[in-house]
Structure 1
Amino acid sequence: MAERPEDLNLPNAVITRIIKEALPEGVNISKEARSAISRAASVFVLYATSCANNFAMKGKRKTLNASDVLSAMEEMEFQRFVTPLKEALEEGSRKVRRKLQSKRRRTKTKKQIQKSKTRAGMRTTTKMRKGWRKKNRMKRRTWTTEEDGETGALEGTALKRLCAAFSCWTEQSWAEEPKKMEVKTD
């Protein structure tokens, strides 16, 4: 806990700001008055916390919650503070909910953007693949023989098979010389 009694005092800057907001403009307050108000506020906070702690212990809890503080205010006979405290609590809860919802929306939007980028990339890649396949299907490779000047067209795997057969055929030693073939791409 606190080692010195001064450690329990509220910060002077906060107390001074609250005093200035409460008093009309042009009114000055002495250092002793600020010190007295600071000590009184500290005692009030400690007493309210102690009463709220009693309500938490009755509920077999170690953590104070808002209902404990509101019950403590009623027990200390500060009923006029209960309504403003409830309103401030509701306003704070609304702000927290709004922040959480906006954060969820932002993350949801980011995820949707990432998904759409990924999907668009996948669509583009798929379209590119389909286009590439289509181009290859449409691309005809022609072959000609030097002897008779024959020309023909082969596509895809048929051309690959022909080339494989041709390479095997030329590697073998045949008695007669094979025909020369050229493979051209349109």
Structure 2
Amino acid sequence: MAEKLEDLNLPNLTVQKIIKDALPDGVNVGKDARSALSRATSIFVLYITSQASKEAQKANRKTLLGQDIIAALEELEFEEFVEPLQVMLKEFKDLKQKKNKTKKNSEGGDVEMTEEIEDEAVEEEENCETHE
């Protein structure tokens, strides 16, 4: 856990990049505004994480899953974030699968078995997401 409140803030460069990507060219943001956005973002992340933790506890789990974050967003009425998050989760899983396949190919492992197990795991997680 963080020792100081400031430890929970996102790195300044990350916040600066997010702001730059979100705003049109030529728009400058003051240091105080960047600091406020950083703090607000950290609070938002903690808020969603707290609710997601409750969702995991309901399912008798200690590990937060993507489905817990999605359920938390829906519970806290941030539905507009659900679809983009689901897209990003799918892209992440696809990228992870590609990396595992590449790694197994380079090691000469059993690629077909690995793909089959990964496909089942992804399918199982997607089924969990649709049933909630």
Unaligned runs of 5+ in 1: 110-186
Report what 2:10 is aligned to. 10
Deviation at 1:65, TM superposition (A): 0.6
Q: Higher helix fraction: Structure 1 or Structure 2?
A: 2
How high is the sequence identity, in percent, across the aligned residues? Answer: 50
Moved over 3 A (4+): none
Alignment length (residue pairs): 109
* Separation in structure 2 between the aligned mates of residue 83 and residue 7 of structure 1, nearest angstrom: 30
* Separation in structure 2 between the aligned mates of residue 53 and residue 88 of structure 1, nearest angstrom: 20
Which has more radius of gyration? 1
Q: Does 1:61 align with 2:57?
A: no
Q: TM-score, normalised by structure 2?
A: 0.80
Report what 1:31 is aligned to. 31
* Separation in structure 1 between the aligned mates of residue 108 and residue 3 of structure 2, nearest angstrom: 49
Deviation at 1:87, TM superposition (A): 0.3
Deviation at 1:40, TM superposition (A): 0.5
For 1:68, the aligned partner's letter is D
Q: Does 1:99 align with 2:102?
A: no
Q: TM-score, normalised by structure 1?
A: 0.57
Report what 2:72 is aligned to. 72
Higher relative contact order (CA 8 A, sep 6+): 2
Q: Higher strand fraction: Structure 1 or Structure 2?
A: 1
Unaligned runs of 5+ in 2: 110-132
